[in-house]
Chain A
């Protein structure tokens, strides 16, 4: 006790420490309330836990499929990756320019406010809802998934990109302006080159997220690719062995992407 008192004397409670404690305390209370009032739908919980553990055993230790050959699964993964490539490219290219309009040092105040509000709105709508909204006009499938997920991805990348643009020294832009450089010249010769590594690493990070989103949209919104097989195996065929095989394929590719992302990031840091 004595020891503790001395600690408190040495380190008086700072404002940040008080706020951390209040935040954690509040979250803990909400969690306890949430778990106690959680609607379990009358399921026998111990039984369901045992059943789930048994299901996990089948999925992770006996993955197998009659229906799906290894090549089929690989092709489905490639489709999912192609979807994420399309989404990332569309959103990356649009976000590079939209980000310019959202940066306070590059665009007039009125425009940045509009762009920022627009982007905040796009990001606040969950991606599945975007996909379903576009599915009304494009039909459920890959086209709606690409457009819907691109929307969400644009919102995310635009915010990240314009933050980088805004970090550029005001003096650099003023100096360029003084030499008579046009807006486009400032953007292409100063702003984009100095943000290039940052833009690349965010884009790759988003590519990883788009991959998992594309899997999810295959299951939830009928987009092509491995996600759709995942949905069929568990909701239609109730084939846990196949679900296991598909999960392992997705896991392998996701880990591969993660390893590449880590390499890219460390290489960019070296530069």
Chain B
């Protein structure tokens, strides 16, 4: 009997290995991924980085310019996340099991959330670019639309966790809808909601680089300018400052999270 278990386990491990191997070979063929070149490029990139990719004394002159774009990027990400959170909260209240008026709204809110989450950020950025041109407003709107879907789903799950039993009990005690929502459901799910909002801000600060790169705004655009003009010293300075900013933001929101959860 024991022998069989081990045989079965070995068999399933083997099967898993074969599937993984087949998947990777198939994918490499379809994408024309060159494994040798890929491996080689890692070593080459390290060697190149040590030789070229570090900030020198002259690049420090660009610091004021970098800090201005950095401030723009942070403001853009926070504003987009908070604005999206306000709308997402309304959608979540409409669709959550504990606060909905009718089941129909759950489907509606879920659908809206799923739509905004799954349309790629790139598509939003590209379309907005056509009318809003190269401005921070484009970046703000793209991040706003991208965050809306994620936050709607996250908030809805947080509100759901309050549970129908608590709501039923309040209803039985004669609480009105307004009281249930604003005195019970929202306060008790607030720590979760704030935690999701902080997570969204962290994500958006990272994504802002990509959106900035596509729409010509913020720190992503600045990197692009120096990268394309082969001024790698300044480009590396931008990367270092971005890393410091992201780690600082993460640490602050981790501290807040530890305090509230």
Contacts and interface: CB of A to CB of B under 8 A. Distances in A.
B249 to A, nearest CB: 9
A9 interface: no
Given A85-B23, A125-B242, A31 B247 contact: no
B226 to A, nearest CB: 11
Interface stretch (A161-169, A171-179, A249-257): A249-257
Contacts of A27: 78, 82, 197, 201
A125 B243 contact: yes
Given A120-B247, A258-B114, A40 B137 contact: yes
A34 B43 CA distance: 42
Nearest to A28: B82
Nearest to B232: A136
Q: Is the interface of A mostly helix, strand, loop or mixed?
A: helix
B135 A39 contact: yes
Contacts of A49: 131
Interface string B88-101: 00000000000000
A202 B214 CA distance: 29
Interface string A52-64: 1001100100000
A16 B72 contact: no
Contacts, number: 227
B121 A126 contact: no
Given A52-B127, A82-B26, A129-B209, A219 B122 contact: yes
B38 A146 contact: yes
B78 A30 contact: yes
Interface of A: 7, 15-17, 19-20, 23-24, 27-28, 30-31, 33-35, 37-41, 43, 45, 47-49, 51-52, 55-56, 59, 78-79, 82-83, 85-86, 89, 120-121, 123-129, 132-134, 136-138, 142-144, 146-147, 212, 215-216, 219-220, 224-225, 227, 230-231, 234-235, 238, 240, 243, 246-247, 250-251, 254-255, 258
Given A125-B246, A132-B223, 20 more contacts: A17-B190, A20-B194, A27-B197, A30-B78, A35-B83, A37-B75, A40-B136, A48-B131, A51-B130, A52-B132, A83-B27, A133-B45, A133-B53, A138-B38, A138-B44, A142-B32, A147-B41, A247-B123, A250-B119, A254-B118
